[in-house]
Amino acid sequence: AQTVTQSQPEMSVQEAETVTLSCTYDTSENNYYLFWYKQPPSRQMILVIRQEAYKQQNATENRFSVNFQKAAKSFSLKISDSQLGDTAMYFCAPQGFSARQLTFGSGTQLTVLP
Amino acid sequence: DTGVSQDPRHKITKRGQNVTFRCDPISEHNRLYWYRQTLGQGPEFLTYFQNEAQLEKSRLLSDRFSAERPKGSFSTLEIQRTEQGDSAMYLCASSFSAGAETQYFGPGTRLLVL
């Protein structure tokens, strides 16, 4: 079983600034993956970044990077040089090796202000 | 690559009616997932298929819900005797079962039960 907590229901950031979204999770599996997805208003879910839990190195994808703390079961997302198009709901989701479905948190609504 | 498609995009029905949704996955993907998302929440897992086999069903999937994936291609999700509580966005995702199994989402079908 997996649970996910995203403690920031809403956040805002000025364009070009940096923002960090937090996520903590719990899982009964020893091996798993972690994902961040974004869901823009009235648009479909898009993968932002993924992290293999067995890798110590934090994943990076252009302006997006994660801070993965396995012992603390924390998986935060940092967005650098925020752009207006980053405005969306962001979801953290672990995926176990045995239970393949994603377990989503309640999301963080990020608004990038001009 | 046409991505994951879902049909219809919107459905309004009266309580007690049956509805059926269709999902066409990315062509080479062997896994297909159904999720349900209510307003302001993250998606919740319903069921998933590997090829034509339905491997797991959530407890959320009551007897009124049935899903099929004949021949391991497209999938249908049927809700019988709809209730107002079934109003939600129904999301389909597909993936290829290897390594970090990234799921790609369709645009969803928004159901409103009056």
- The pLDDT tens digits along chain B (114 residues) read 579 999 999 999 999 999 999 999 999 899 999 999 998 899 999 999 999 999 999 988 889 999 999 988 999 999 999 999 999 999 999 998 876 689 999 999 999 999
For residue A41, how many C-alpha atoms fall within 13 Å in the half-sphere facing its CB? 6
pLDDT of residue B99: 66
Beta-carbon separation of B91 and A50 below 8 A: no
Q: pLDDT for A16-31, tens place per residue?
A: 999 999 999 998 888 8
B43 contact residues in A (CB cutoff 8 A): 45, 91, 102, 104
Phi-psi group of B70: left, alpha or beta (phi > 0 → left; psi -120 to 50 → alpha; rest → beta)? beta
Rounded distance between C-alpha atoms, residue B69 and residue B98, angstroms: 20
Alpha carbon distance B73, B29 (integer Å): 9
Cα B83 from Cα B43, distance rounded (Å) = 19
Q: What is d(CA B108, CA A2) in angstroms, rounded to the nearest whole number?
A: 24
Is the pLDDT score of A110 beyond 90?
yes
| C-beta of residue B80 within 8 angstroms of C-beta of residue B24 | no
Residue A41 one-letter amino acid = P
Cβ of A45 within 8 Å of Cβ of B56? The answer is no
Mean pLDDT of all residues in chain A? 93
Which position has the token pair 């869901």? A39
For residue A48, how many C-alpha atoms fall within 13 Å in the half-sphere facing its CB? Answer: 25
On whether the CB atoms of residues B31 and B95 are closer than 8 A, the answer is yes
pLDDT value of residue B100: 67
The nearest alpha carbon in chain A to B110 belongs to A42
Q: For residue range A49-100, list pLDDT tens digits in order.
A: 999 988 889 999 999 999 999 999 999 999 999 999 999 999 999 988 777 8
The chain B residue lying nearest A40, using CA atoms, is: B107
Interface contact flag, B41 A35, Cβ < 8 Å: no
B38: tokens are 């209510």
Nearest residue on chain B to A43, judged by CA atoms? B107
How far is the alpha carbon of B64 from chain A, nearest alpha carbon, in Å?
A: 21
Residue A2 has what pLDDT?
Answer: 83
- A106 → closest Cβ in B31, B42, B105: B42
